[in-house]
Amino acid sequence: MSLPSSLRRRLRGAAACALLLAAVGMAQAQNAKDPIEGWNRVVFGFNEGLDKAVLKPVAAGYQAVVPDLVLSGVSNFFGNFGDGWSAINQLLQGKPVAAAQMTMRVATNTLFGIAGLFDVASDLGIERQQEDFGQTLGRWGLPAGPYIVWPLLGPSSLRETAAMPLDLQWRPAALSQDEPTRYALSTLQLIDVRAGLLKAGRIVDEIALDKYVFIRDGYLARRRSLVYDGEPPELPDDSPDAPPVGPK
């Protein structure tokens, strides 16, 4: 069985990247969770530049021009699609009740929400609990591993990277046979995600001392929390001094 050539090229590219990452990593290992910080910062800088020049203005324009009803329709459509993937992952994580609830959600929104354009399930109190394959791997006991920033895709970890081929496969775009449709759907999804992050981005710009560190630590903590459904076990306290006692 031979792989399609595009995939083979991509794999070869990924292998080269991994080698490069390993080399840079050995050059400066300081932070245990971010051994390739030097390289990550380069990619982060590239992503920031690209975001500032293209993605952010496009997303802001999209949000300003497109009517609210359409904006929410697009978000709901992609969200409904993702909910199906969440249901499968809940099943893989041994959470049949949550999986049944998410399946109900998808069925309700697909049938009564016109193919997912309206989120009627939320109005009925069937809430979204987002899960992906990265979380499933975490649930199965795989540690996050080192932090990795990918060009275009942004913050990740070794575990999320391993899950990426499957997570990225579950998109409306991946189902389409038609190349232009695939690109259009991918682009729309990307803009939709970015538009949803515009407000958060403004806040981060204002409160981060070092944006790279802020996003890295926030990302890793959030992913860890998601693996444990919001209640991760306490980390062993690595600082030698306990917090001082407050004023009596």
Gap between the Cα atoms of 136 and 82, Å rounded: 15
One of 199, 201, 233, 236 touching another protein (CB under 8 A)? 199
Stretch that binds another protein, among 60-68, 95-103, 148-156, 238-246 (CB under 8 A): 238-246
Nearer to another protein, 65 or 209 (CB): 209
Nearer to another protein, 17 or 120 (CB): 120
What does each C-alpha distance from 118 to 50, 68, 114, 131 come to in angstroms? 32, 12, 7, 21
Name every residue whose Cβ is closer than 8 Å to that of residue 11 and which is 6 or more positions away in sequence.
3
Name every residue whose Cβ is closer than 8 Å to that of residue 197 and which is 6 or more positions away in sequence.
59
Compute how many residues bind another protein; rule: CB under 8 A.
Answer: 35
Gap between the Cα atoms of 14 and 18, Å rounded: 6
Considering the rule CB under 8 A, would residue 52 count as an interface residue with another protein? no
Report, in Å, the least distance between residue 188 CB and another protein.
19
Reference 210, options 40, 23, 36; nearest CA is: 40
Considering the rule CB under 8 A, would residue 236 count as an interface residue with another protein? no
Stretch that binds another protein, among 7-15, 17-25, 141-149, 221-229 (CB under 8 A): 221-229
Structure tokens at 5: 């050539």
Q: Which residues of 140-173 are buried (b: 16+ CB within 10 A; e: fewer)?
A: eeeebebbbbbeeeebbbbbbbbbbebbeebbbb
What string marks each residue from 103 to 142 as x (binds another protein by CB under 8 A) or -? Answer: ----------------x--x----xx-x------------
Nearer to another protein, 65 or 248 (CB): 248
Residue 154: phi and psi, rounded to 5, are 80, -150
Beta-bridge mates of residue 154? 150
Report, in Å, the least distance between residue 247 CB and another protein.
7
Nearer to another protein, 97 or 245 (CB): 245
Q: Enumerate residues 11-50 that contact another protein by CB under 8 A.
A: 31
Residues that bind another protein (CB under 8 A): 31, 119, 122, 127-128, 130, 199, 202-203, 206-210, 213-214, 217-218, 221-222, 224-226, 230-232, 239-241, 243-248
